[in-house]
């Protein structure tokens, strides 16, 4: 008979502990509410500092977004006049061969071209590849005196190549880049917004600077000149525009050239012609 009283007392004890626990929790809640404003102020201040830091870093990131791919060459000083190259009649044509689109060339697509009544010898995109490498690898470009490179295809498509772009060394990769450019109309740097290659509107003369002299090259020209003497005779205040043919054979026929010259008594490839031009310019501007 004693057991029920023991149980009843135990229940009363648990109820008392429950009341004490609720009262303790109420006191802790009141203390927590009193400390809340201080905590909130302590939290909001670092948040504002972080946001300000992020805005500052964001602004710096916007300024240095193209770090490593400069908009203008770092060695360019005092806004000196430079040189522009135009590659005319470049053999860059895309066609669907089988199930995929490809950049046509005389080695891989000779049968395809013959079936379509086209001369395989006219399809030489490797000439444009070699010419671009010769321009972009020259000391004139390294010194920051190259202003722009423009390429116009046989079909009349005009695109710009930035002076600081790195053209692929192998023809296979170059072919892939050209295919992507002619289909998507531009190519951007990896993780960047800058367009390294982009298709632009004709005519190319819209992009020439004021006071520019436009020189074309042809083996058939009656005016044979030594390149070094020719560039030395041009004033330092004149922007030089050199127009070189990027085709296997033939002559460039454009109406914006001021002077047609030949720089050798023998036919030269586009890459060799460009090499002679850049060497003469390097001597003129004392670029080693």
Output the CA–CA distances (angstroms, integers) from residue 284 to 70, 245, 278, in the order listed: 25, 24, 10
Give the CA angle between residues 30, 36, 42 to the nearest 5°. Answer: 155
- Asked if 101 contacts 163 with a C-beta cutoff of 8 angstroms, the reply is no
DSSP state of 109: S
* CATH-assigned architecture of domain 83-92+125-169+186-285: 3-Layer(aba) Sandwich (3.40)
SS3 148: strand
Give pLDDT, residue 87: 97
> How many Å apart are CA 63 and CA 39, to the nearest integer?
37
The pTM for the full model equals 0.72
- Residue 259 has a CB neighbour count (10 Å cut-off) of 13
- Asked if 83 contacts 281 with a C-beta cutoff of 8 angstroms, the reply is yes
pLDDT tens, per residue, the chain with 288 residues: 455 545 444 444 444 454 455 555 555 554 555 555 544 444 444 434 434 444 444 444 333 333 333 333 445 444 578 999 999 999 999 999 988 999 999 988 999 999 999 999 899 999 999 999 999 999 999 999 999 999 999 999 999 999 999 999 999 999 999 999 999 999 988 777 889 999 999 999 999 998 899 999 998 899 999 999 999 999 888 999 999 999 988 889 899 999 999 999 999 999 999 999 999 999 999 998
């Amino acid at each position: 008979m004693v057991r029920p009283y023991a149980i009843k007392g135990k229940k009363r004890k648990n109820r008392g502990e429950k009341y004490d626990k609720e009262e303790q929790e109420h006191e802790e809640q009141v203390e927590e509410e009193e400390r809340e404003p201080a905590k909130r102020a302590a939290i909001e201040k670092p948040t504002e500092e972080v946001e300000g830091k992020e805005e500052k870093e964001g602004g710096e990131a916007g300024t240095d977004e193209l770090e490593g791919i400069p908009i203008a060459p770092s060695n360019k000083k005092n806004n000196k006049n430079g040189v522009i190259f135009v590659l005319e009649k470049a053999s860059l044509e895309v066609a669907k061969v089988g199930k995929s689109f490809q950049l046509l060339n005389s080695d891989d697509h000779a049968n395809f071209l013959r079936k379509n009544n086209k001369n395989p010898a006219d399809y030489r995109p490797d000439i444009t590849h070699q010419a671009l490498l010769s321009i972009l690898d020259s000391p004139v470009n390294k010194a920051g005196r190259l202003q722009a490179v423009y390429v116009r295809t046989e079909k009349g498509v005009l695109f710009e190549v930035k002076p600081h772009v790195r053209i692929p060394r192998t023809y296979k990769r170059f072919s892939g880049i050209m295919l992507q450019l002619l289909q998507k109309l531009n190519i951007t740097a990896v993780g960047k917004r800058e367009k390294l290659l982009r298709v632009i509107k004709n005519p190319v003369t819209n992009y020439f600077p004021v006071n520019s002299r436009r020189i074309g090259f042809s083996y058939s020209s009656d005016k044979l000149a030594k390149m070094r003497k020719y560039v030395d005779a041009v004033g330092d205040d004149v922007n030089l525009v050199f127009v070189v043919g990027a085709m296997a054979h033939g002559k460039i026929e454009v109406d914006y050239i001021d002077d047609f010259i030949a720089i050798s008594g023998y036919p030269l490839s586009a890459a060799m012609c460009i090499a002679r031009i850049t060497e003469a310019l390097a001597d003129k501007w004392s670029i080693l």
